Amino acid sequence: MLWLKAFHIVFVVTWFAGLFYLPRLFVYHAAALHAGTAEQRLAERFAVMERRLFAIMTIGGALAIAFGIAMVAVAPAYLAFGWLHVKLALVAALVVYHVWCYGLTRALRAGRSVHSQRWYRLFNEVPGLLLIAIVLLVVLKPF
């Protein structure tokens, strides 16, 4: 179980690194798109960075989820705890956020900045809030 937990944590860190940095790239990419043709090469560079980072964070997320499922398979009694149900709901929200990031990546790559830089900055805060909630649930096990 400790090996599963260790690898789960490693891949959660990998996933969150991407979830924190990708929306920051969106801020810069949107700025480059709004700057006009002079910044076109920079926007193309951001598109490449976003695509590569998304691939890495997808692997991290998939492996974090896989090791999480493995831990539940080894200790199914944990499913009786309410805090785990809330944690799993928050992880589902992270998956939705992750998929949303993919859609934003595609839009920006196509040259469509569908949101303002300010919106992307606020969007960037969502995984941090989810991380705080998840860590508190796992450590404190309040119910």
Characterise 113 by phi-psi region: left (phi > 0), alpha (psi -120 to 50), beta (else).
beta
3-state secondary structure 47-73: HHHHHHHHHHHHHHHHHHHHHHHHHHH
Using DSSP's 3-state secondary structure scheme, residue 69 falls into helix
pLDDT above 80: residue 38: no
Residue-wise pLDDT for 67-112, tens only, equals 999 999 999 999 999 999 999 999 999 999 999 999 999 999 999 8
Average pLDDT for 35-63: 92
pTM above 0.85, yes or no: yes
Task: Please state the domain extents for the chain.
Answer: 2-140
Q: What is the pLDDT of residue 35?
A: 79
Q: What is the pLDDT of residue 142?
A: 95
Give which of 100, 110, 103 is closest to 44, Cα–Cα. Answer: 110
Q: How many C-beta neighbours within 10 Å does residue 61 have?
A: 21
**How crowded is the C-beta side of 79, counted as CA atoms within 13 Å?**
9
pLDDT above 80: residue 39: no
Q: What is the pLDDT of residue 105?
A: 97
Alpha carbon distance 126, 129 (integer Å): 5
Residue-wise pLDDT for 54-66, tens only, equals 999 999 999 999 9
